[in-house]
Amino acid sequence: MWARVGCKFLRQNVSKNLNLGSRFYSATSSSVVRPKLPQSSRKGRLLTGATISLLIGGGAYASTVDEATFCGWLFSATKVVNPFFALLDPEVAHRLAVTAASRGWVPREKRPDPSILGLEVWGRRFSNPIGLSAGFDKNAEAVDGLLGIGFGFVEVGSVTPVPQDGNPKPRIFRLKSEGAIINRCGFNSEGIVAVAKRLGAQHGKRKLDETSNASSSSSDEIKHGGKAGPGILGVNLGKNKTSEDPDADYVQGVHTLSQYADYLVINVSSPNTPGLRQLQGRKQLKDLVKKVQAARDEMQWGEEGPPPLLVKIAPDLSKQDLEDIAAVALALRLDGLIISNTTISRPDSVSKDPLASESGGLSGKPLFDLSTDILKETYTLTKGRVPLIGCGGISSGADAYKKIRAGASLVQLYTAFAYGGPALIPQIKAELAECLEKDGFKSIYEAVGADCR
C-alpha cells in the first residue's frame, strides 16, 4: 500500500529525495551513537532496508516509463508489502487494509480491462465480472479505492439498522495452509444512518466530478459503472441480532440505502446471527421478499428505475431447500441470487487443522467445490432465468471461469483477496480472459451455464 504513495512522490521529485536521503544518512550515521544491536535485529533492519530500497529503486525506474508499465509495477510491488499483513492479528490487518483503501494507499488500475470481459446485467454495464463480496468494506468506507483497484463491482455491508458490535473477539481465524478463514463476526456494523451519510457524501462528490468533467468526455464513449462512478455498487442488508421483526429491518435498510445502490442484497445466510438462516424457508423467504420489493417499489425512482433486488443464500442447503428458493425466485421475479455465503461444514481438507473446531463460517478454497455445486444446481432449477453471482473459494481466473460455466454471470471473492492483495485482481482478469479465448468464447454471455447445457 505504501508503494503507491512513495512512487508517486518519487515521480514528482526523484533526484531531490535521493539527495535528501543521502544527507540524512550521512548526518545520522556520523552524529548518533547507537547501542550495539543483536544479530537478529541487525538482520531485520537489513531486510527492511533492502525491501524499501527495492521499492524505491523500482519505483524510480518505473516512473520513467509509460503509464501502463508503471501501473503494472505498482500492483507487483504490493506482493512485497502484502505478506507483512499476515504477521498481524486478522482483524487488525483487515482494519488496516480498509483504511489503506479508503485513503488511496493502494494502486489504481489505469489499464483497460480485456474487452471480452465486459458485460451488461440488470441494465448495468460491467467492465469485468470480478467483484468484491460483502464483509470486507462493511461500512462503505473505501468504495472508491476498492473500485479503483480494478474490481468490476464492490458490495458493501452487511449493514444493520442499528449499530452493533457483533460477536466477542477473537472472531476471525486464518487457516493459512488451506487458504481459508473462519469468521463469526456477527454483523458488526456502524448502522444504516452512518453508512447512508458516507454513501451520500461519496455520491455528491462523484456527481460534482462528473459535472466538471462532462465537457471533456466524449459523448459517444461507452460508459461502465453506476452510482459508484467507475464501477457498480451493491449494498448488502442484514438484520440486528436482537430484532423481533426481521422483515422491518430489511425494509428500513431499503428505505434508507437503496437510493445509493446499483443493486440491493437481502442477506439471510450468515451463520453468525441466531435464527437468520431460518428466513431461507419457502414461506418465510416469500413473505420477506414481497415486503422488501413493495418497500422498494413504493419509492420514487427516475428513468433508471429501482435497484435490482437479490438474495444471498447459504451453501448448507438440502435439495428441497434449493427447490423452494428457486420457486420463490421465479414466482416473485427476483432479480438475482448470490451463491453462496460461508459454510458451517468442515470439509476434509480443513478438518485436521487445530482451528477447524472454532465456530463460525468457513470461507476460502475449501468452500469452492461445495458452493460451485450449489451454484450449478440453482442455475438448473431456475432454468437460467435468474442472474446468479458465484461466490466461494475463488482464487484464480480458472476458478472464476468454472463458476461462470456453472451458471454465474458475475463472481465475487474475499478470502483470496485478503491473502493475495491487490495484485490478485489483474491476474484473475487476465487468466479469465485467457480461459474464455482458449475455449472459443467471444464473450462472458456465451460461457454462462456452459456446463449445464
C-alpha cell belonging to residue 388: 446468479
Q: What are the C-alpha distances in Å from 362 to residues 130, 318, 368?
A: 21, 18, 11
Q: What is the CA radius of gyration of the chain?
A: 23
Say which DSSP state 448 is in: T
Backbone angles phi, psi at 152, to 5 degrees: -75, -25
H helix runs in 109-245, sequence order = 143-149, 192-213
Catalytic residues: 270
Task: Map grid coordinates 459508484 to a residue.
Answer: 228
Contact, 337 vs 313, CB < 8 A? yes
Residue type, 227: K
Contact, 231 vs 225, CB < 8 A? yes
Contact, 55 vs 76, CB < 8 A? no
Indicate the pairing of strand 232-237 with strand 153-159.
parallel
- Residues 259/261/262/268 CA torsion (nearest 10 deg): -120
Contact, 254 vs 292, CB < 8 A? yes
